[in-house]
Chain A
C-alpha cells in the first residue's frame, strides 16, 4: 500500500517536473496542449488529495510517510497558474474540452492570487502531514477550501 503511494507521489513529482521543463521550452504552448497539460496537472492534484483525504476520512489507515510524500507532491504541483498553461484563447468558449472560464483572463491577478492561496494551504499540509492523523484532518479543510474557491469562480460546471 505505502509503496503504491510513494510511487504515485514520485511519478507525480516527475510528471510535474517534466511539465515545467515543457512549459519553459515551449513558452507559446498551443491552447489545446495547454488545456491537456493543465487538466493532467489538476488530476494529479486530485490524486495526491486522494491519499490525504482518504486518510482524513478514515477510508485508509494513516501512514506518515505516504502522507508526507503526497503533501510534498502537492506543494510541488500547486503553482498551477503559470501563464504557460493558461495562454489567451484557451478558455472554455474557445476550446470545447476546457472548463476554464473566460473570466480567468479578465481577472488574471485574482486567479493568480487563488493559485498562490492554494500553494500556501498545500504548504500548511506539508507541515502537518507527518504529525499524525488529527493534524492532517485539521489541514484538510483549508486545503480543500483553496481548491474550491478557485473552482467556484473560474471553472465551468460540466
Chain B
C-alpha cells in the first residue's frame, strides 16, 4: 500500500513536471530574424492587414488618432474582461524599448519579453501564420508612431484564468501554424489564405468557439456568437454568403453590400483596414472565401 502510494505520488509528480514543461512558453529563436531589416513603409500595410489599431487605439479614437496606440479598449469574454495594453512607442508605458525579436514573439507566439504567456484575446493564434519578415517590417513601422504616455490597465479576470502559466495548456490545444484550409489552392487563393487565416484574423470573429475559447475549425468562417453578446457574426462561407467574388471585394473596400446596405459593428474597422490594402489583396481574400468549404447552418 505504502509502495503503491509512493509510486502514484511519483507518477503524479512526473505528470505535473510534464505539464509544467509542456506549458512552458515556446518563443522563436533569435536566428529566426537573422538578416531581416524592417521596412516601415511595408510595415504600414502589415499594420493595416493585422488590424492592430482596431484593438490598441483608444476606444474613442477617430481616423486622426487611430495610430495613437495607447490602449484601453475593453474586451468582455466568458473568462473576464481584457483591456488592450499600450503598444505605442513610449519607452515607459508602451513598447518603445522592445527589440524586433521581442515584438515578433509577442505577435507570433503570444510570449512576452519576460517569457510569460499572453491571453488569446490578443489574436496570436492567427498571427502565428504570418511571415516573420512581415512582422519585422511591422515592428519598424510601430516605432514611427507617436508615443502615448497612458499606463496599461490590469485585466479583470478571476481565478484560474488569472494564472498566465495555465495558458500554456490552451496553447497546446489550440495554437498551431497549420493552414486551416488544406485543399489545394491556386496562387491567388493562397494569398487570400495568408491574409484570412493569418494577419487579418477573420476567423477570430467569424468562426465559432468551443467552451475553452478555441476556434472550432470544422465550422471555419461558418458564423459565430458575437462576444459582446449582441446578435451573431455572419457565416461568410459560400454555404450562406451568395455574393460574387467581386461583391466581396467591393464590400471589403467600401463597406457596401450588394443591396447597398453598409457594414456595421466591428466590421466597420475591418473594412477601414482592408481598404488600405492593394486591390489584389481584397481580390485574393474574395477568391479564398469562395474556396473555403461551405458551412451550412
B260 x A158 contact (CB < 8 A): no
Chain B interface helix/strand/loop/mixed: loop
Residues of B contacting A42 in the complex (Cβ-Cβ under 8 angstroms): 261
B265 within 8 A of A: yes
List residues of A (43-82) whose CB comes within 8 Å of B's CBs: 46-47, 49-50, 53-54, 57
List residues of B (229-265) whose CB comes within 8 Å of A's CBs: 230-234, 250, 254-256, 259-265
A151 x B268 contact (CB < 8 A): yes
Q: Given A46-B260, A47-B260, A99-B231, answer yes or no on A148-B226 (Cβ-Cβ < 8 Å).
A: no
Residues of A contacting B254 in the complex (Cβ-Cβ under 8 angstroms): 140-141, 144
Chain A residues touching B, range? 20 to 34
CA–CA, A50 and B259, complex, Å: 7
B101 within 8 A of A: no
Residues of A contacting B271 in the complex (Cβ-Cβ under 8 angstroms): 148
CA–CA, A87 and B234, complex, Å: 28
Q: Given A57-B250, A144-B254, A148-B271, answer yes or no on A156-B265 (Cβ-Cβ < 8 Å).
A: yes
Residues of A contacting B265 in the complex (Cβ-Cβ under 8 angstroms): 151-152, 155-157
Residues of B contacting A49 in the complex (Cβ-Cβ under 8 angstroms): 256, 260
Q: Given A46-B261, A49-B260, A148-B263, answer yes or no on A157-B255 (Cβ-Cβ < 8 Å).
A: no
Residues of B contacting A152 in the complex (Cβ-Cβ under 8 angstroms): 264-266, 268-269
A157 x B232 contact (CB < 8 A): yes
Q: From B258, which residue of chain A is reached at the shortest CB distance?
A: A50
B256 x A53 contact (CB < 8 A): yes
- B72 → chain A closest CB, angstroms: 17
CA–CA, A141 and B275, complex, Å: 11
Q: From B265, which residue of chain A is reached at the shortest CB distance?
A: A157
Q: Given A144-B254, A157-B233, A158-B234, answer yes or no on A50-B268 (Cβ-Cβ < 8 Å).
A: no
- Mask, A89-109, CB within 8 Å of B = 1, is 000100000010100000000
- B190 → chain A closest CB, angstroms: 27
B268 x A149 contact (CB < 8 A): yes
Q: Given A46-B261, A49-B260, answer yes or no on A144-B255 (Cβ-Cβ < 8 Å).
A: yes
- B246 → chain A closest CB, angstroms: 9
CA–CA, A8 and B261, complex, Å: 17
A-B contact list, 23 entries, CB within 8 Å: A46-B259, A46-B260, A49-B256, A49-B260, A50-B260, A53-B256, A53-B260, A54-B260, A92-B230, A140-B254, A144-B255, A144-B262, A145-B255, A148-B268, A151-B264, A152-B264, A152-B265, A152-B268, A152-B269, A157-B232, A157-B234, A158-B231, A158-B234
Given contacts A151-B262, A151-B268, A157-B264, 14 further A-B contacts (CB under 8 A): A42-B261, A46-B260, A50-B260, A144-B255, A144-B256, A148-B255, A148-B264, A148-B271, A151-B265, A152-B266, A156-B231, A157-B230, A157-B265, A157-B267
- B residues with a Cβ closer than 8 A to A are 226, 230-234, 250, 254-256, 259-269, 271
- A residues with a Cβ closer than 8 A to B are 42, 46-47, 49-50, 53-54, 57, 92, 99, 101, 140-141, 144-145, 147-149, 151-152, 155-158
